[in-house]
Amino acid sequence: MPKKNDNELTWKDLEIGNIVVEPGNASEYRTGDWKTELPEFDHEKCNKCGLCFIYCPEGCIQNDAEGWFVADLYYCKGCGICAVECPKDAIKMVGEEEE
């Protein structure tokens, strides 16, 4: 498919049946656009148990070199599940504009 912006694609540019022929390109999809709130991690409270990593439905929480858990905001949908599940109350959902 020619490289055009999404909004420039014409009906003639589409693969038959809209088949996606480039494997794994869902990773380009910025689901982070959906959120209105994002998780803020409090290292004072966090004990690195990793429950947030397990519960995140987006799979976007990973631990960094020091073992702290962080959300990849390119994908985080702001659902708040991590904040609800955190046993140490270490995650607070904050409005994006407050970031």
Partner 1 sequence: MAQVVGMEVSLAIAEAARLANVDVISAYPITPQTHIVEHLADLVANGELDAQYIPTESEHSALSACLGSSAVGARTFTATAGQGLELMHEVVYVASSMRLPMVMVVANRALSAPLSIWGDHSDAMAVGDTGWIQIFVENGQQAVDNVLCAFRMGEDQRVLLPVMVHVDGFHLTHMVEPITFPELEEVDRFLPPYKHPFPLDPDKPVTMGAFGMPFIYTETKKAQYENLMASKKVILEVWEEFGTRFGRHYHPVEGYRNEDADVLLMIMGSFSETAMETIDRLRAAGRKVGLVRPRLWRPFPFDEVRQMTKDAEVLIVVDRAISLGGSGGPLCALVKQSLYHEDKKPEVVSIIGGLGGRDITIDGFEQIIDRGMEIVQEGSDKSGFEFFGVRE
Among 2, 21, 33, 67, binds partner 1 (CB under 8 A): 21
Buried b (16+ CB within 10 A) or exposed e, 49-66: eeebbeebebebbeeeee
What Rg do the C-alpha atoms of the chain give, in angstroms? 18
Binding range to ligand SF4, per CB under 6 A, among 2-10, 12-20, 21-29, 58-66:
58-66
Is 38 in contact with 78 (CB distance < 8 Å)? yes
Q: Please tell me whether residue 70 binds ligand SF4 under the rule CB under 6 A.
A: no
Residues within window 20-49 making contact with ligand SF4, judged by CB under 6 A: 39, 41, 46-49
Binding range to ligand SF4, per CB under 6 A, among 1-9, 11-19, 20-28, 52-60:
52-60
Contacts of residue 67, Cβ cutoff 8 Å, sequence gap at least 6: 48
Binding site for partner 1 (CB under 8 A): 6-7, 9-21, 23-24, 26
